[in-house]
Amino acid sequence: MANVYLGLGSNLGDKRKQLFAAITLLAEQAGDILALSDLHETIPWGYQSAHSFLNMVVHLGTSLSPHELLASTQHIESELGRTAKSKDRQYNDRTIDIDILLYDKVILQTPDLVLPHPLMHKRLFVLQPFTQIASDLIHPVFNQTITDLYQALLMEIVDEINRQKFEELINADVLPV
Tell me the domains of the chain and their CATH numbers. 2-171 (3.30.70.560)
Residue 90 has pLDDT above 80, yes or no: no
Mean pLDDT of 147-163: 92
Under a CB-based contact definition with an 8 Å cutoff, are residues 28 and 1 in contact? no
Q: Where are the alpha helices (DSSP H) in the chain?
A: 15-29, 66-79, 124-134, 146-171
Cβ neighbours of 43 (radius 10 Å)? 12
pLDDT in tens, 39-63: 999 988 887 888 999 999 999 999 9
pLDDT at residue 70 in the model: 98
pTM of the shown model: 0.89
Residue 84 has pLDDT above 90, yes or no: no
Residue 87 has pLDDT above 60, yes or no: no
When comparing pLDDT for 52 and 166, which is higher? 52
Position 37 confidence tier, pLDDT thresholds 50, 70, 90: very high
- What are the catalytic residues? 82, 94, 97, 99
